[in-house]
Structure 1
Amino acid sequence: MSSLSYLINSPNNPKAHQPLILLQSTKAQTCLPVLRSLIKPAKPPSQTLLFCFLYPPSTLTDTDFQKLDVSDNGLKIFDYTASIPGYDDQWSDHTESILSTVESAPPGTLNVIIDSLDTLASDISSTQKAYKFVRRLLTLVTARQHPSSLIAHLLPCPLLPPLTQTSLSPALLHAIAHAPALLSHIATAYMTPPPPAGPPEKFWGVFIPIAERSYESERLIFGPDGEGSSGGAWAGNGSGSGSRSGKADMREMVVEVLVRGKGDGRKRAVERTLEGWRGQCPCELEALESLKSVMLRKRVEQAAPDPTQNVSFKLSLTPSQEKSRAQVPLPYAHEGQASNTTSSSSTPATILYDPDSADDLDDDDPDEDLNI
């Protein structure tokens, strides 16, 4: 089972539990479909707390949160999207209230979801303060007796690098959304298809530096020859119900999944994989329609036809012909050997030289007049 499938189906399984999960979107590709799949009502005593700073709750869940009964489905939503510094006279720092809400949550498994951390950091105008808030929040989550997770969605920002350091959490699942056009570009321009169509070592050596230069992905999507906003984004109907259109369900994206350690923090190895996402669920890369040409081209290259086939003449030999060819004596191959014995000749090797007419052969000493 892939990492994304395991995360969605068993997010709090002790064997693969991750206390910190980062979902990273880019300007070229949003990671909201993965976030939506993780926002689901939990059965008591488990509970999910959703704090919205960027996207309204109606775009993240189909549940009518205004009529939500927390005791029935274990999902509690806090909407801070209308609280904007400089535009709301009643604005205040919500970090302390979030910490109090998490600390007072009833016993049991708890999933704390924040959308989006970069917006929160911008609201409080301090990356350092936002990092300290995440650190305190993660401490509250990991201190619970039952497996619990902090799930945060964000865009690339100064807060992202410190969140991925082992000093914050030895265990981490970092999912980064990429547009399929990026993989098609790498396979075409660099002759490096993604695994399993190509060697992983070669692909990651090309993919990681290019993916870190976000402007290349943006050029592929929004440039003159780009395909436009790629999405994965869900289309609402404007009524606040958050319904999804049929076209949006078929949108595709590629998710780079980096897994570091486990919940106990003992395993320090880092695993990096690429997984597909189609519609509402993860899938294999081969299942993405936008990448089928890349995968198919590599399979055709690997299964290239035999050049000796379909020719007008015969290139192969029959067994009898191969036996006859092996019995043909090669020139100079048996020189120096007795004709009727297998023992080699003991005649030493010599060099025979026949002087040419233009050779100046003089036995006298050419330096005789130098009086040496």
Structure 2
Amino acid sequence: MRQLLSDGNTVLFCLLHSSLLSASEVEVHNLLDRVPGYCDNEVDVRQHIKSTIENASSGPLDFVIDSVDTLLSDIGSLSETHKFLQEVLLIIRGRSSPSRFILHVQATCPLLPLLSLPAFSPSLSLVIPHPTALLLHLATEYLTPPPPLSPEPKFWSIFLPMSERMEESERLVFGSAGEGAGDSEQFVIEVIARGDGDGLRRRGVDRTLHGWSMAKGLCSLEDIDALKPLWARSVPDPTVADPTQNVSFNLNLTEAQQNSRAQVPLPYAHEGKPSDKPATASAAIFYDPDSADDIDDDDPDEDLDI
């Protein structure tokens, strides 16, 4: 979030975390002490946010609320919070210069499914962080590393249900075999983009995976140190061993053995072909009846063997 806001032209409303950015980088409105029922001079947070956006300077701006979960807790109503965010979005869209509305939302927030609907905003960029342990788990247990190492339909069919189970991701990170919260410098982000532009309208929803490093910012998955073993496995070994070596028998034939093998007639090689040799005689059956035979029967004494 800090790197996203450090380019200036940003108005930040802090409800959960205090900002470490300087005043020259971002316009900060610290609302941490505006807790309903716990402050002497209560100020309507909703009215403060709306009036600040309406009186903001011209030009493209980013309006950030950190976070929606705290805002929902202060307002106390899911429908009222959703209605307020819709009103703020309409004010931002009414500005002469194009601006962005950025919301920090926890994955467990009940407002997240409503904010992701096209009815709230046709254009959407949803960024979801994931631990690197999740991709390592899929590659090890399900033999499904991230694309392009595996087909995208197969990967997403396994990744999406697994990532939505929050307890599973927490177990991979904080379990007995997990790395804990110490390695928070690098992680994986899932980016879901939906827009009203021509390109995104034709493609619908675009879902991709990227890496994020505190030192590099947005990067590819190959640049994440924890995921480099996955890419090392995909590199084929240039030296392929000869399968005929180190066997207990000889696979090579001498010239005399090859000639002898060539002279052996193959069975059924001439099956179905007429023979070159003329037939010497036709087959026949000779039977000499005796006194006990009945000449009218085909086999009078049942001793005829052909």
**Shorter chain as normaliser: what TM range?**
0.7 to 0.9
| DSSP-derived class of the 2:210 partner | strand
Q: Distance in 2 between matches of 1:38 and 1:135?
A: 23
Say yes or no: does 1:98 pair with 2:49.
Answer: yes
Say yes or no: does 1:269 pair with 2:204.
Answer: yes
Q: Distance in 1 between matches of 2:262 and 2:204?
A: 56
Q: Taking structure 1 as reference, are residues 331 and 287 closer, same or farther at Cα in structure 2, changes over 3 Å only?
A: same
Say yes or no: does 1:37 pair with 2:3.
Answer: yes
Contact kept? 1:194, 1:203, Cα under 8 Å: yes
Q: 1, 6, 10: which is aligned to 1:48? A: 10
| DSSP-derived class of the 1:77 partner | strand
TM-aligned CA deviation for residue 111 of structure 1: 1.0
Q: Distance in 1 between matches of 2:96 and 2:170?
A: 43
Query: Which position in structure 2 is the counterpart of 1:283?
Result: 219
Q: Distance in 1 between matches of 2:70 and 2:272?
A: 89
Which letter maps to 1:275? H
1:160-239 aligned within 5 A:
160-230=112-182, 232=184
Query: Which position in structure 1 is the counterpart of 2:303?
Result: none
CA offset digits 1:259-303 (Å, max 9, x no partner): 112457744611111101122411111111111112222335x87
Which letter maps to 1:125? G
Contact kept? 2:60, 2:97, Cα under 8 Å: yes
Q: Distance in 2 between matches of 1:146 and 1:309?
A: 72
Say yes or no: does 1:151 pair with 2:102.
Answer: yes
Q: Which has the higher contact order (CA 8 A, sep 6+)?
A: 1
TM-aligned CA deviation for residue 334 of structure 1: 2.7
TM-aligned CA deviation for residue 363 of structure 1: 7.8
1:49-88 aligned within 5 A:
49-58=11-20, 61=21, 63=22, 65=23, 68=24, 75-88=26-39
Q: Taking structure 1 as reference, are residues 267 and 108 closer, same or farther at Cα in structure 2, changes over 3 Å only?
A: farther
Contact kept? 2:213, 2:219, Cα under 8 Å: yes
CA offset digits 1:51-98 (Å, max 9, x no partner): 11111012xx2x2x3xx4xxxx6x311011122234323333311221
Contact kept? 1:261, 1:268, Cα under 8 Å: no
Tell me how many residue pairs correspond in the alignment.
271
Q: Distance in 2 between matches of 1:116 and 1:231?
A: 24
Q: Distance in 1 between matches of 2:40 and 2:207?
A: 45
- Normalization by structure 1: what TM-score? 0.65
Q: Distance in 2 between matches of 1:102 and 1:316?
A: 85
TM-aligned CA deviation for residue 328 of structure 1: 8.5
**Higher Cα Rg, which structure:** 2
TM-aligned CA deviation for residue 306 of structure 1: 5.7
Structure 1 unmatched runs, 5+: 1-34, 233-250, 341-361, 365-372
Q: Distance in 2 between matches of 1:178 and 1:104?
A: 37
CA RMSD of aligned residues (A): 3.1
Query: Which position in structure 1 is the counterpart of 2:230?
Result: 294
Contact kept? 1:110, 1:148, Cα under 8 Å: yes
- Normalization by structure 2: what TM-score? 0.78
TM-aligned CA deviation for residue 37 of structure 1: 1.4
Q: Distance in 1 between matches of 2:15 and 2:48?
A: 14
Identity percentage of aligned residues: 44
Contact kept? 2:122, 2:195, Cα under 8 Å: yes
Q: Distance in 1 between matches of 2:45 and 2:100?
A: 20
Q: Taking structure 1 as reference, are residues 309 and 283 closer, same or farther at Cα in structure 2, changes over 3 Å only?
A: farther
Contact kept? 1:193, 1:295, Cα under 8 Å: no
Q: 215, 239, 259: which is aligned to 2:193? A: 259
Q: Taking structure 1 as reference, are residues 335 and 39 closer, same or farther at Cα in structure 2, changes over 3 Å only?
A: same
Q: Taking structure 1 as reference, are residues 285 and 266 closer, same or farther at Cα in structure 2, changes over 3 Å only?
A: closer
Which letter maps to 2:158? V
TM-aligned CA deviation for residue 189 of structure 1: 1.3
Q: Taking structure 1 as reference, are residues 316 and 51 closer, same or farther at Cα in structure 2, changes over 3 Å only?
A: farther
TM-aligned CA deviation for residue 163 of structure 1: 0.3
Q: Distance in 1 between matches of 2:183 and 2:5?
A: 19
Q: Taking structure 1 as reference, are residues 120 and 316 closer, same or farther at Cα in structure 2, changes over 3 Å only?
A: farther
TM-aligned CA deviation for residue 116 of structure 1: 0.9
Q: Taking structure 1 as reference, are residues 310 and 148 closer, same or farther at Cα in structure 2, changes over 3 Å only?
A: farther
Query: Which position in structure 2 is the counterpart of 1:121?
Result: 72
Contact kept? 2:15, 2:30, Cα under 8 Å: yes
